[in-house]
Amino acid sequence: MTGGSRGIGRAIAEQMAACGAKVMIASRKAETLAAVADAIDGEVLWHAAHAGDPAAAAACVDDCVARLGGIDILVNNAATNPYMGPTIDIDVARAEKTVQVNQMGVLYWSQAAWRASMRDSGGVIVNMASIGGLAVEPAIGWYNVTKAAVIHLTRHLASELGPGVRVNAIAPGLVKTDFARSLWEGAGDLVAARLPLKRLGEADDIAKLAVFLASDASAWMTGSTVVVDGGALLGQHGIG
């Protein structure tokens, strides 16, 4: 799983391990990964890798296959958002970095898992999108463009890789993580008050859905993007 050292990624690792899965988490910092792996009950391994680097993706997947015997579930969770502001004003460097991690990273890790294990043994891919990929909002428009790409890529991969591999996505609303802190800190209560469920999301809200999509309970689902946003899209509050 990419982006497995904090926030939603860590919550997914914890939930997967609690269900008995053997988990490998990946992110850039080895020290953080080691500490997280030690803190989670169950068999949790780690491998330092940059989500937007295809060589790093292949090396991590190969390590997972070597140490765990294969890869049954891939969770593409890593994301970055180095720019906030009008999309028309974004610079090339930050635009390319966002695409490299959020969009191309999903492709690179899916290719690596397919070639190393899933082509022969099957499996499940869960991609982390956002309700931002289904709406328009001014502050993080370019980030949302990449999440819209993840939603469409999920459909394409589901079509191409079935029946052996199922591919689905999750589109969270605003979740109280460090990654999204700039969107909720100081304004979380106001945002929550506009939602039908009157609260912001927690990492476990997303993690439990990821476990469902990875399990046989969702065996007749592929190509879907599941929205979990406290009802935000009902009022067209595209915050995620």
Residue-wise over 16-33: b if at least 16 C-beta within 10 A, else e? bbeeebbbbbbbeeeebb
| Structural contact between residues 226 and 220, judged by C-beta atoms closer than 8 angstroms | no
| Structural contact between residues 6 and 178, judged by C-beta atoms closer than 8 angstroms | yes
CB-side exposure of 208: number of CA atoms within 13 Å?
6
- Known catalytic membership, residue 83: no
d(CA 52, CA 102): 8
d(CA 87, CA 138): 8
d(CA 61, CA 148): 25
Q: Residue 205 belongs to what H/E stretch? A: helix 203-214
Closest CA to 24 of 138, 7, 42, 104: 42
Among 132, 143, 195, 200, which one carries the catalytic annotation? 143
Angle at 174 between CA 168 and CA 177, to 5 degrees: 95
Catalytic residues: 143
